[in-house]
Structure 1
């Protein structure tokens, strides 16, 4: 991959692999010998970046050229640039099935999404419109949580939720909208696999590649797995697509994307190597083709989205904001202490409770009972959080 760079700059590029990258490199950084160019471990505090990495430029100079230029920045100076980015909060689908069912535009509301699933079932009775993968619910149910922030259209959604002391589930708001959609789909046995309790994750990969399954809520990471299964079975990998969460705000759809690891230059190497290291990062992002090969989003502003993200054309992308000083980790602490478990999947978790209530046909009353219980736990824990109260008091 690096032959072109080596020829252009008359150098040799060597790579080093690690079993546990963040841990191993963090240990190496206690010395000056931690490579020339490296992915910056998240263990390095932003205020400490200048102790380990060479400045790549001022944020004001780089922000219009590179996405996520603020991810490894301190006091206006950028020390790392993302090698690629990814989309979170979308839905995998078989494009051929959806198109052959007569669906020409992607759904922008929950009602449209369910109507499309029904079209698929009507057109193809043997196809499973939506596959729950409920047997693996400890992690598959959590995929729905990834739709929440994108559907909000608000980079500060999590901070606003706790600072404004809003209920976790409020009708018309993101958590309610996302999990009510999940509940409504799971409540309709014609739209899902016959026995969700015995679903098969590994088998479902081939099923969606074949078009036996039309749709699954998964991160964009799943696209490459589904496409590889298609290739391995002489099927068309281009049939695998990824669509934005079917929600709109003020008539517009939003999508969340995020930087992967950021590349930086070791400040302890010779000056000529520093310059070469900077050129390597620029080349890796702009010319290597790595992000395209991995199905990632290229860091260069204005770069074309990967083909499998064509359904995201017209979406407004944003990156979730970090919590302000004084609230770092507070949202996650409230989630953990309340045992709401946005990302966990034990048997007492609200996502699994919702799924089981839906399968049992408990209707809107079943959804409301679970939502009310979650609201009570969330509010009690939130209101008892001393850091949140101190922040609210200090910031009016």
Structure 2
């Protein structure tokens, strides 16, 4: 995540822990502007907690972050206050973020689009809106929200920011426009342009007009295809313990026939058994064959691979199934597009594996002394 914090030294600052968590969950294709002050003609000045721009998908989000003294018992749509445990009513954050969104939309149309997106129809601009509060939990009653959504889980919100698409995506005209747009947005939102963002946004094209990102993606798909082919060959070799046409029980053949075998004929060596890593890799490589890199396709491939692992009894050792091995083998297959497995899954890997095992009708259990392993039955 590229973070552009407020330039106002007196402004409220996000929690360093929250910023660090977002940087862990989001890659540098997401620009995050925090504690923005937005001046739109004819509108009150808006104070925006977070504005996110996913340059890869062309999506934008205005997000209001709220902390409450008690757990949120009821989150309502506009027109009614929210209720906390104990019956305390608080101003509705959905109404607040809706006003902020109107100001941001007007500011973008007036100050950003004419110069940086002249070909984009400003009337087609789509902005997502959200409210995040750690006091929202699984027992909070959330009414049907007409516009936007309420989140109490930061990885879930980050997954939406990272993976959502739009019917009218706001794509940059070319890679060289990244720094100019980031500078303009910092000026609009009154945020700073940190040195690390300067470094990451500096574009150095190689190979003429080659689309570097596209070429890297193609190379990864080619590598995945080769790994899948190699996995098939290894599995085939492991099953070919005897050549075609040779009896599987040589000891039952007549002794005379054995004596008549030419001296040069030798019993072929038995193929070595696959290691745990090779078996895990084979399941993942097969599942990712043909995957185009989208979050949905990658998630489905991970589900397919994990189901295969659950069905492979040779991976259910004395200490159960190694979730960490599944993660280490699977990470390179999604890292190019999504950064990490928790990011594409929207939750920690072990929690996801437990939920998938339960969905398959199994009973996952912890393994004493092996916190990264699962035993299923």
Shorter-chain TM band = under 0.3
TM-score (norm 2): 0.26
Higher relative contact order (CA 8 A, sep 6+): 1
